[in-house]
Copies of this chain bind each other. A is one copy, B any other.
């Protein structure tokens, strides 16, 4: 019977800390402010935006919404980003992506000032996460994995961490952040041979493959802490992760649930970055 590493108490603790920091900044006349930039009206974006607005409201971060028409030009979008860069009263900026295909995503990413890149999309943020220097901010989902591990006091220094999946939004930055905590980190990919054996070597297993139920009992052993970043809808319409939870739960020491795990923490990480950015600027 594994400990279930729920996101909710992590979120509660982060909200409390963020709210206190917000209040302290407001006493100095600084209102931590996040700009969100949305092109068109994708359902996913709208729902994520709602979550952000709610979470920000709770801790005292102001949100400025830039809603651009579906047919906005690249130049108009870049103008909005430049305006945000130049506005000292805005501390962080989230651009909903993926953008429609006609945009040059790379140019959009690079238009944003790294010090306002609270979502970790710029080269500055990538350099920061790789070098462990205070440049930009790490991608929120990767940091959410670490926030959960830290909240539940999971030992990392000297431990074996295995990260399955090497995307730039989760796997690779999570690997760097685990290394920063002095874990010995192995980064797996689709060519990895005998993935189950490798996973069993992990004290901490971070699964960010984006494949539903890819990790089961054969990949697990007792004593492990498992962080499941995947989020999928199964045949019955229920949310589930990359890890077969019902197989993991009787074996491992602790596991994050899906839903209610990593995903719930991501927005609080974003909000925390805005407060960090407001403190720094």
Contacts and interface: CB of A to CB of B under 8 A. Distances in A.
Interface stretch (A50-58, A94-102, A188-196, A222-230): A188-196
A166 B179 contact: yes
Given A123-B124, A168-B131, A189 B193 contact: no
Contacts of A187: 175, 179, 184-187
Pick from A130, A160, A168, A185 the residue with the most CB of B within 10 Å: A130
Nearest to A175: B187
A14 to B, nearest CB: 26
Contacts of A131: 123, 126, 168
From DSSP, what is the main secondary structure of chain A's interface residues?
mixed
B192 A184 contact: yes
Interface in A101-133: 123-124, 126-131, 133
A124 B110 CA distance: 11
Given A127-B127, A186-B187, 15 more contacts: A123-B131, A123-B133, A123-B135, A126-B126, A126-B131, A130-B176, A131-B168, A157-B191, A158-B192, A158-B193, A166-B179, A182-B191, A184-B186, A184-B187, A185-B186
Interface of A: 123-124, 126-131, 133, 135, 157-160, 166, 168, 172, 175-176, 179, 182, 184-189, 191-193, 198
